[in-house]
Amino acid sequence: MSGSEEKISPELQQFLLNEQAKAQMQQTVARLTDTCWDKCVGTPGRSLSSREEACLSDCAKRFIETTQFIIQRFQQKASASSGF
């Protein structure tokens, strides 16, 4: 590459975007797991109690809803600032 950038093929660009999306999803799942597990499960046993299961389910729902809300707010702010 002497002065000019080589173009990346569309297939490679799509592959890289897909891999980035996978990595982000894995990070989100790891954060959700860490947050909800620490909040809902005291000492792990042979199985989860019904209370622990309900807590994990509710925690995951709140985590996802909060994440979606934050993303929407960022998108709103980005579109509002690009209008000027």
Give pLDDT, residue 2.
47
Domain spanning 10-82, CATH class:
mainly alpha
Token representation of residue 33:
């797991």
- Alpha-carbon distance of 51 to 53, in angstroms, equals 5
Task: Count other C-beta atoms under 10 Å from residue 2's C-beta.
Answer: 3
- Residue-range domain boundaries for the chain: 10-82
Give pLDDT, residue 83.
62
Token representation of residue 54:
């309900």
CA angle in degrees (0–180, nearest 5) for 59-62-65: 150
Give pLDDT, residue 6.
72
Residue type at 49? S
> What is the full per-residue pLDDT of the chain (84 aa) written as tens digits?
444 457 889 999 999 999 999 999 899 899 999 999 999 998 888 999 999 999 999 999 999 999 899 999 999 988 888 765
